[in-house]
Amino acid sequence: MATVAYDSLLSDIMPMAPEAPDMLITKHIRASVVELCEKTSVYQIELDPITSISGQHEYEFDVPAGTSVQKVLWVTHDGRDLEPISSALLEQRKPKWRSSEATTTGTPEFYVKQSSSAFWVVPPPSATVADAIRVRAILRPTHTSNSCEAEIMNDYRDTIINGALFRVLRTPGYGFTDYAGGQVYASLFNSQLEDAERRARFGDTPIVRKVGYGGLSSVRGTRKYSGRKLYRSNNM
């Protein structure tokens, strides 16, 4: 999966804050991308298939480097949909499923998202089957990532730039600090987040399971604010 580095956007932001350190700008670009993904659910992919292991109920999400799972959309085992369930409800529906008093393996019926990195399938599979488990999930970049998936970085370029600019300009104690300008970019960013969230729900993200996400290309226009560019997206 192709990715785009956060620092590739430095040239778009530095003219509006020429004294800002590169590391500071890059940090705020990352924060902007993380917020975009967390609030809008635009980063949706089907993960690489996972081999089910006989008797094993816990598995790790096979996610791209620098990402974690925010939400699971669906899980299948050997072509069968698994029902999402909480740990507490699972214990009611399948009491003692891990004990020797119950049949501990079988055909999986449920999945439980345990964390951003792991999930359960219950009952544990009774056979080892290559690539039996498939997962579609909403991802988010980690706060230590250096890049994000190219489609996200390209389709939401203007949104990411505005989100980074509002953070950079509101950094206190610098010559480039501009609270008024930062507020303008914050308003643009928040508006574009709303558009992106609607786009993820109704536009590019299909309703039918297993159909891939397809983004639209961003068309960028600009106008001036106090000598700075305002990035607006016309494709939403």
- Single pTM value for the model: 0.81
Averaged pLDDT for residues 77-106: 84
Whether 81 and 134 map to the same domain: the answer is yes
Q: Write out pLDDT tens, residues 109-159.
A: 999 999 999 999 999 999 999 999 999 999 999 999 999 999 999 999 999
Q: In this predicted structure, what is the pLDDT of residue 231?
A: 55
Lowest mean pLDDT among 48-52, 53-57, 81-85, 211-215: 211-215
- Domain assignment present for residue 147? The answer is no
Which of 140, 169, 186 terminates a domain? The answer is 140
Distance CA 156, CA 42 (A): 10
Which of 94, 113, 140 terminates a domain? The answer is 140
**Which one, of 124, 99, 98, lies nearest residue 111 by Cα?**
124
Q: Is the pLDDT of residue 217 over 50?
A: no
Range of the domain at 213: 3-42+156-233
- Domain assignment present for residue 149? The answer is no
Averaged pLDDT for residues 39-54: 96
* Domains of the chain: total: 2
Q: In this predicted structure, what is the pLDDT of residue 228?
A: 46
Q: Is the pLDDT of residue 225 over 70?
A: no
- Structure tokens that stand for 129 in this block: 């089957």
Q: Write out pLDDT tens, residues 11-42.
A: 999 999 999 999 999 999 999 999 999 999 99
Which of 95, 115, 140 terminates a domain? The answer is 140
- Neighbouring residues of 110: CB distance < 8 A, sequence distance ≥ 6: 82, 83, 84, 85, 90, 93, 94, 120, 121, 122
Whether 112 and 197 map to the same domain: the answer is no
Q: Which amino acid, one-letter code, is at 91?
A: E
Whether 133 and 212 map to the same domain: the answer is no
Q: How confident is the model at residue 195 (pLDDT cuts 50, 70, 90)?
A: very high
Averaged pLDDT for residues 100-112: 79
Q: In this predicted structure, what is the pLDDT of residue 203?
A: 57
Q: Which amino acid, one-letter code, is at 14?
A: M
Q: How confident is the model at residue 224 (pLDDT cuts 50, 70, 90)?
A: very low
Whether 28 and 48 map to the same domain: the answer is no
Whether 53 and 136 map to the same domain: the answer is yes
In whole numbers, what is the pLDDT of the chain averaged over residues?
86
